[in-house]
Structure 1
């Protein structure tokens, strides 16, 4: 049974537990007797329902760490597991010594909102998804008494998009420059990115045996945080055609000692790209922005959507369509004009 003891101006509620021949107790202090009584009733009901109340004194951070190293490590790829370990750092920083018994939707939501103040909505949502999954696991195991994970929301705003597709004018300008300066290996890396829409890791994963006449077999991907070279998804395994000039330029690159064509360069390709674009007075973007540029350019030329989707290695066509929510400026202006012309002809 629960006991409530008055201590000064507060009330200490205590629950007795018995499991596997061992006795233990959990307690909590409240400012009023009514709150202590309500908590005691909740705990007794939970105990009667088989909830693992002894675990409620475990901190959420410790639970999350144990959960990812015992459960998730067996369920996900190494690269995905690395994301979980990074979220563990976030959780330790946010939740500190907060225990499972003190968690509810208001407490967790406040921590998520705190994180959102200095991070993008997308990054915050990725953290929230992992917290939700952990909380549902804790509830299923009886470590927390309420399933409130579904009440949690992602708030905040997204910063300006970094992966912005280049305009057709800048696309042609950049492509012309890197074609005319193949002596710099990085220029060829940019050229292949524009030519194929391959992801940065896929570009770095090109080996001589992946080259065939006027094409590249996408078979592995290099990550700066993992030795796992597997592709993002089964659909990412594909063959991507390239024109003769680009094919011949790639073949001239000396193969590195590790067997790959392009050097990893300390994975500083983003910084190198920023410098190149600044030199050419082209609006800044990322390697993924070059992938967006490739996709948007093909779409602007009315290339079949199914073909573009397969060329990019997308899971489905819907993913490909999402690339075109923001078209290249010139194409959008042309479609605006075409739309007005059609309306005027009615």
Structure 2
């Protein structure tokens, strides 16, 4: 049973706990006896429900480390697990001295906001998603009194987007150049990225057996950080149609290669792409920006979002809408003109 002792003008409540074969005590001081009694009653009820109150003294950073190395290790693919492992260092720094029992949304939000002051919003959002997952697990294990993860917000610096979609004019120029210079294998890779919107790892994972008339099958993905070739999600496994000229380029290339169609080249495709774009006088973007270009081009031609989403291998069309669909300059200018024309008709 809980005990309450008056100490000066305060009241100290003590609850006995059982942890790993030993009895321990949890104490907390209150300004009023009523608050002490309410806390004691809550603790006793939690014990009665089988909640693991004793473990709530564990540091959050220790809990998070164990959660990653035990729960997530067998729950995600190898490449994703490596990403989780990287966040352990961040959690150690942000939540250095705080115990599970002292956590709530306000305490966590303050520490996350401090981290957000020097990091991008995208980085913070990815971290918060992982923290939410760990809190949900802690709540299920009885280590937290409530699951407040959904209350956490992702702030951070709005950095310029690096995965810029090329304009339609630039898209055509880059595609035509690559198809006209197939002697360089990298040009075929770039042309295929523009043609399919597939991820770099998915393209590097292509083999001759994945080519069909006229299309490619996405069955695996190559990672620069692990030997895991699993695809990102179940929706990533798909077939993507391609034009005859791209198909012929792949068939010709397949005759020269024994295993994978493309050389991995130490995963230096980003550097190679920058040199090519500069050579052609095109806007600077990333290899992933070719995926954005593909999606935005189809969107500008009024192709349905549902089709674009399936072609890109997304789990949801929300992902396609939030990250990949932008109005290319030519399309924006046309829509500006259409909008102004409609508004002008009102004055006639």
* Deviates most, 39-48 or 160-169: 39-48
Q: Give the deviation of 1:203 after TM superposition.
A: 0.6
Q: Separation in 1 of the partners of 2:34 and 2:120?
A: 42
Q: Separation in 2 of the partners of 1:316 and 1:54?
A: 41
Q: Separation in 1 of the partners of 2:275 and 2:111?
A: 37
Contact 2:274 2:285 in 1 (8 A): yes
Q: Separation in 2 of the partners of 1:185 and 1:309?
A: 28
Structure 1 residues 13 and 270, CA gap change in structure 2 (3 angstroms): farther
- What aligned pairs does 1:203-222 form with structure 2 within 5 A after superposition? 203-222=203-222
Query: Structure 2 length normalisation: TM-score?
Result: 0.85
Structure 1 residues 40 and 327, CA gap change in structure 2 (3 angstroms): same
Q: Give the deviation of 1:46 after TM superposition.
A: 1.5
Cα deviation digits, residues 303-332 of structure 1 (max 9, x gap):
454443433233344544446752100111
Task: Find the counterpart in structure 2 of residue 93 from structure 1.
Answer: 93
Q: Separation in 2 of the partners of 1:322 and 1:107?
A: 30
Q: Give the deviation of 1:182 after TM superposition.
A: 2.2
Query: Structure 1 length normalisation: TM-score?
Result: 0.85
Task: Find the counterpart in structure 1 of residue 72 from structure 2.
Answer: 72
- What aligned pairs does 1:107-146 form with structure 2 within 5 A after superposition? 107-146=107-146
Q: Give the deviation of 1:140 after TM superposition.
A: 2.8
Task: Find the counterpart in structure 1 of residue 163 from structure 2.
Answer: 163
Secondary structure in 1 aligned to 2:275? helix
Task: Find the counterpart in structure 1 of residue 246 from structure 2.
Answer: 246
> Does 2:268 align with 1:271?
no
> Does 2:105 align with 1:105?
yes
Secondary structure in 2 aligned to 1:71? helix
Cα deviation digits, residues 22-51 of structure 1 (max 9, x gap):
3223456x7xx6289957862563244214
> Does 2:26 align with 1:45?
no
Unaligned runs of 5+ in 2: none
Q: Separation in 2 of the partners of 1:145 and 1:306?
A: 41
- What aligned pairs does 1:161-310 form with structure 2 within 5 A after superposition? 161-253=161-253, 259-310=259-310
Task: Find the counterpart in structure 1 of residue 335 from structure 2.
Answer: 335
Structure 1 residues 35 and 106, CA gap change in structure 2 (3 angstroms): farther
Structure 1 residues 12 and 184, CA gap change in structure 2 (3 angstroms): farther
RMSD between superposed Cα atoms in Å: 3.1
Q: Give the deviation of 1:142 after TM superposition.
A: 2.2
Q: Separation in 1 of the partners of 2:6 and 2:247?
A: 80
* Deviates most, 300-309 or 144-153: 300-309
Q: Give the deviation of 1:108 after TM superposition.
A: 0.9
Q: Separation in 2 of the partners of 1:230 and 1:143?
A: 33
Q: Give the deviation of 1:200 after TM superposition.
A: 0.8
Unaligned runs of 5+ in 1: none
Structure 1 residues 292 and 324, CA gap change in structure 2 (3 angstroms): closer
